[in-house]
Chain A
Amino acid sequence: MTTLVADDRRTDRSAMPAPVEFQRVRVRLGGSAVLDGASLELRAGELLGIIGPNGAGKSTLVRAATGIVPLEEGEVLIEGRALRSYSSQALARRVAVVQQLPEAPPTMTVAELVTLGRTPHLGFLTRESSRDRAIVAEAMERAGCVALAERALGTLSGGQRRRAFVARALAQEPAILLLDEPTANLDPHAQAELCLLLRSLVHDGVAVLAVVHDLTLAAAYCDRLVLLDSGRVVASGRPAEVLTEPRLRDTYGVLVSVITHPDTGLPVVTPARGAITAQRAEDVDG
C-alpha cells in the first residue's frame, strides 16, 4: 500500500505539467504570421533563453503566453491548463511579465510601482496588508532597489528603472516569470547582476523565460536555449548544442565564430568583421 502511494507520487511528479507549453502556436499580426507553428516548453526549475534575429517572434511569444495577443491556431498551456481557462487575475497570480519598454507615469515612485505588483492578490476593495507590504519590501530588496524606493521613475537610469520593474514582477510572487530582453541597454555589471538574480529565482523554484539578444550572455546563464526564426523554432537544447556556427550563419545571416570559454567551457559567440552573408528576410520585407 505504501509503495503504491510512493509510486503514485513519483508518476505524479514525472507527469507534472510544464509551467508553460506552446503547442504549434500561430499568431498573425497585421496580416503576416509572426509566430508560425511554434512549439516549445518552459520546464520547471529552468532558465530558458529565447534567442533569434529581430522579427523572429520572440516578443510575440512572451505576449502570447499572457493572452495579450490572440492565437490564430495552437494552444498555450499554463501549468497544464489552457491559457483561455484562466481569469486574468488567476493568470497574474501565476505569471509575471517584465516588458521590454514598460510605460509608467514619471512621477510614480519605485515603491508605488512595486506595490502595484500586489494587484492580482488583492480583492476589489481590499487595501494592502502588512504582509503585502513585507512582500513588496522583500521584492525591492531582492531586485536591489530599496535605496530607490522613494525616487520618481522619471529620475532613474535605465538600469535602475529595469530593476524597479523586475521588483514589481517579483511582488506578484509568480511561479513563472517572463522577461522580454531584460539585459538590453544594461552595462556588463548590471547585466551580470540581473542574470544572477534570475539564477537565484530559478533556484527558488521559479520557472524563468527570458528573451535575450546577447548570445554569449544567454549561453553563460541559461539552462536551455530556443532559437526562433520567422516564427518557428529552429533549434532548442543546451547552449552548446544550439549555438553552432552554421546555424547562426543561416538564421542571423552573419558569419560568427563560436569558441569555447577556457574556464567555463561554455560557448562564446564572437563576430567576424564585415561578414554579412545575405540579405535577411526582415530587410527584404522592410
Chain B
Amino acid sequence: MAELRARDQLRPALPAPASSVRRQFMALGAVPLSLGVLAIVCLLALTQGAAPIPVLSAVRIILASVPGLDSLVDASTEPEAWRRIVLDVRLPRVAAAAVIGATLSFTGAGYQGVFRNPLANEYLLGVASGAALGAALVIISPLGTGGYGFGPVPLAAFAGGGLTVTAVYVLSKSAGGGSATTLILAGVALSSLLSAITSFIMIGAGQRAQPIFAFLFGTLNISSWERLAWGAPYLVVGGAIVLAHGRVLNVLQLDEEQARQLGINVSRAKFTVLAASSLMAATAVAIAGVIGFVGLVVPHVVRLLWGSDYRRLLPLSAIVGAVFLVATDLVGRTIFAPQEVPVGIVTAIAGGPFFLYLLRNRRMAHI
C-alpha cells in the first residue's frame, strides 16, 4: 500500500481532462436521472388530456390498484370516472408508448452497432414495409381489423416483418456473401417493392384503407394490455440476447478484421444481434404500427450524452426512448385535442429538426 502511494507520488499528477470528469459524472447519474425523467413524463401523460386529473389522485389510484398496496392506499374517495380514465384508458397507452419507444430505440442502437452505420435502424431491413403489407392484406381481407386488442392484424404484421427480414438476409447472403452493404441494399430494394404493393392495395381499397393509414402513421390509440402481454415474451427474450452482446458490439465498432483478430466470431455475433433486434422490432411494429425516427434519433442523443459503450448505450437508449415516445404521444393527443395527431407524425416533426440540429453540431460527424 505504502509502495503504491510512493509510486503515485513519483508519477506527475496528470490533470484529469474535463471531458472525462464530466463523462464519469454523467455515467454515474445516467440511469437514475433518465428513470426520474421517465417517471415525471409518465405522470404527466397519465394526468393530462381531455380530462385533467390531479397528480396525487392519479398516483393514489395507481397505487391502490397494485395488489398488496391496496390496503395501504385509500383511493375510494376518487371519482370512479377518474379511476376508469387512469387505469383503463391512459395507463395501457402510456405503458405501450414506453415499451414501444424503448424497443425502437434499443433495436435502433443494436442495428447501428451491427452495421457500424449511424443511419441504420429497424426499418432498414424491411421490418416496417413487410409488417405494413402483412397488416394491409389482413385489413382488406374478410378478417378485417378484428378484435380490439388481440386481433389478426398484429399477427399478420409480425409475420410480414419477420418474413421480410428473413428474405432480405437470405437474398443478400446468396447475392453478395451477406456483407453489411449488401444487406442494406437488399433491404432497401425489397422495402420499396413491398411499399409499392401496399400503396397499390390502399388505392384499390378506398374507404377500407383507413386502418392501413393508421398503421402506417403509427398509433398508440389501439394499444391494449392484451397486445402488450402478447408481445412481452419476444421483447424480453430479444432484449436479453442483445444486452448480453453489449461488449461484443463494442468490439464490432472496430473493423471486422480486428474483431476477428480479437477472437470474436463476427458473422455469428452479427446474425444473433440482427435476429434478436428484428424479432423485437417486428413485435413493436405489430403492436403500434410504423413509428419512425425514434430508433434513429434516440441512440444518437444517448451517445452524445453518455458515450458509446454499448453496455451503457443499450439500456439508456431504452429508457430515453420510452421518455421520448411517452412525451410525443402526450403532445400528439393534447395539442389539437380532441383531434388526435398520430404519434408517428409527431415523432417525425419533433425528431427531424432535432436531428438536423445534431447534424449541425460537429460532434455528430464523428459518430
Contact = CB atoms under 8 A, between A and B. Distances in A.
Sort chain B's interface into a size bin. 20 to 34
Contacts of B258: 97, 99, 102-104
Contact of A63 (B20, B244, B247, B257): B257
B303 A66 contact: no
Contacts of A92: 261-263
Contact of A119 (B16, B257, B263): B263
A213 interface: no
Contact of B17 (A67, A117, A119, A150): A150
A272 interface: no
A96 interface: yes
Given A92-B262, A96-B261, A105-B366, A119 B247 contact: yes
Interface string B225-268: 00000000000000000001001101101110110111111000
B334 interface: no
Interface string A148-175: 0011101000000000000000001000
A125 B244 contact: yes
Given A97-B261, A107-B303, A122-B247, A102 B255 contact: yes
Given A119-B251, A122-B247, A147-B14, A106 B366 contact: yes
A88 B264 contact: yes
A90 B308 CA distance: 27
A116 B262 contact: yes
Contact of B253 (A66, A108, A172): A108
A215 B250 CA distance: 37
B33 interface: no
B74 interface: no
Contacts of A125: 244
Contacts of B251: 116, 119
A117 B262 contact: yes
A53 to B, nearest CB: 23
B367 interface: yes
B309 interface: yes
B262 A107 contact: no
A160 to B, nearest CB: 14
B304 to A, nearest CB: 9
B308 A120 contact: no
Interface in B1-32: 14, 16-17, 19-20
A156 to B, nearest CB: 13
B367 A107 contact: yes
Contacts of A122: 247
Nearest to A125: B244
Contact of B260 (A68, A103, A112, A150): A68
B17 A116 contact: no
Interface in A99-146: 99, 102-108, 112, 116-117, 119-120, 122, 124-125, 127, 146
A88 B265 contact: yes
A150 B308 contact: no
Given A105-B367, A116-B251, A150-B19, 4 more contacts: A90-B263, A97-B258, A112-B309, A150-B16
Interface of B: 14, 16-17, 19-20, 116, 244, 247-248, 250-251, 253-255, 257-258, 260-265, 303, 307-309, 363, 366-367
Interface of A: 63, 66-68, 87-93, 95-97, 99, 102-108, 112, 116-117, 119-120, 122, 124-125, 127, 146-147, 150-152, 154, 172
